[in-house]
């Protein structure tokens, strides 16, 4: 097996204005700005990880598509269960089964997406070492899990990965639309869960379940479509960077 090729740094570091150090400090008059330390490691094509990241996002979204109709069916089943004097926990509906099946898919999506983002970040530290990142690389994994900061850290990680190629902060808007739809989908999911009976059937509350299921589905479908666009944009940028370094 041959070693993976070592790619030189992407020349975006040459775009730093003369007399400005990497940290943003101005060099003393008559002195050139210090050069940043050469990055270690090598860049790797995203390849299969990109396809898996897109695929697992699409799979999770596909599981959500029938939830509106499954929620309607669940309401009817729970009402019949109530009429027969039964309890909600005695009846598993297809709605709940699909929700249970979506959890391992969501877990797999987390692992695959973080592996992809980790490689994206590692590549950028080699190909464009002077490009700014709001968070350290470890937040690629931790940003999704730590309470409170999970509301914006993942957005910053993805935003910085996308805007590196063009150095345009406006690329954050594309990521912002995805992140906004994703957060709203998570909020709708949380509200929806309130209406799922646990120990007794509340007929008045469960009537709203199909509407919340529909809202959740729409938001996550929008978020998935926007996420796939972001993933492809980052993958295309990195492919261009790698092709440029191979040609040098």
Q: How far apart are CA 115 and CA 140, in angstroms?
A: 9
* 111-160 pLDDT tens trace: 999 999 999 999 998 888 888 899 999 999 999 999 999 999 999 999 99
Contact 8, 248 (CB under 8 A): yes
Q: How far apart are CA 216 and CA 218, in angstroms?
A: 6
Cross-strand bridge partners of residue 20: 26
Residue 3 lies in a domain: no
Residue 4 lies in a domain: no
Where does the pLDDT of residue 228 fall: very low under 50, low under 70, confident under 90, or very high at 90 and above?
A: very high
Residue 5 lies in a domain: no
Residue 18 lies in a domain: no
Question: In the chain, what percentage of residues exceed pLDDT 90?
Answer: 49
Find all residues with CB under 8 Å of 121, minimum gap 6, and list them: 133, 137, 140, 157, 161
Task: Share the mean pLDDT of the chain.
Answer: 80
Residue 37 lies in a domain: no
Exposure letters 229-239 (e unless 16+ CB within 10 A, then b): ebbebbbebbe
Select from 205, 182, 224 the least CA-distant residue to 56: 224
Where does the pLDDT of residue 17 fall: very low under 50, low under 70, confident under 90, or very high at 90 and above?
A: very low
- The segment with the largest mean pLDDT, out of 27-36, 113-122, 161-170, is 113-122
Which token pair is 228?
A: 């796939």
Q: Mapped to the 3 state alphabet, what secondary structure does the chain carry?
A: CCCCCCCCCCHHHHHCCCCECCCCCECCCCCCCCCCCCCCCCCCCCHHHHHHHHHHHHHHHHHHCCHHHHHHHHHHHHHHHHHCCCCHHHCCCHHHHHHHHHHHHHHHHHHHHHHHHHHHHHHHHHHCCCCCCCCCCCHHHHCCCCCCHHHCHHHHHHHHHHHCCCCCCCHHHHHHHHHHHHHHHHHHHHHHHHCCCCCCCCHHHHCCHHHHHHHHHHHHHHHHHHHHHHHHHHHHHHHHHHHHHHHC
> Is residue 175 pLDDT above 50, yes or no?
yes
* 36-94 pLDDT tens trace: 444 456 788 888 999 999 999 999 999 999 999 999 999 898 888 878 877 766 788 99
Q: What is the pTM of this model?
A: 0.78
Residue 15 lies in a domain: no
Contact 171, 226 (CB under 8 A): no
Residue 137 lies in a domain: yes
Residue 28 lies in a domain: no
Give the chain's domain count.
1
The residue segments making up the domain with residue 99 are: 44-247
């Amino acid at each position: 097996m041959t070693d993976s090729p070592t790619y030189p740094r992407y020349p975006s570091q040459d775009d730093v204005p003369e007399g400005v150090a990497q940290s943003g400090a101005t060099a003393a008059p008559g002195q050139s700005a210090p050069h940043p330390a050469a990055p270690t490691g090598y860049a790797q094509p995203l390849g299969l990880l990109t396809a898996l990241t897109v695929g697992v996002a699409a799979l999770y979204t596909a599981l959500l598509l029938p939830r509106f109709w499954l929620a309607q069916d669940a309401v009817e089943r729970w009402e019949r269960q109530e009429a027969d004097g039964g309890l909600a926990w005695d009846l598993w509906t297809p709605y709940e089964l699909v929700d249970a099946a979506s959890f391992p898919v969501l877990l797999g999506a987390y692992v695959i997406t973080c592996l992809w983002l980790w490689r994206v970040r590692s590549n950028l530290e080699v190909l464009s070492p002077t490009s700014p990142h709001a968070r350290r690389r470890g937040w690629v994994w931790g940003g999704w899990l730590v309470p409170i900061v999970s509301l914006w850290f993942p957005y910053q990680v993805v935003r910085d990965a996308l805007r590196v190629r063009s150095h345009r902060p406006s690329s954050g808007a594309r990521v912002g639309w995805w992140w906004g739809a994703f957060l709203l989908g998570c909020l709708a999911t949380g509200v929806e869960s309130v209406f799922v009976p646990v120990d007794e059937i509340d007929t008045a509350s469960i009537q709203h379940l199909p509407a919340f299921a529909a809202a959740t589905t729409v938001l996550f479908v929008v978020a998935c479509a926007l996420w796939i666009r972001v993933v492809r944009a980052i993958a295309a940028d990195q492919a261009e960077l790698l092709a440029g370094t191979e040609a040098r």
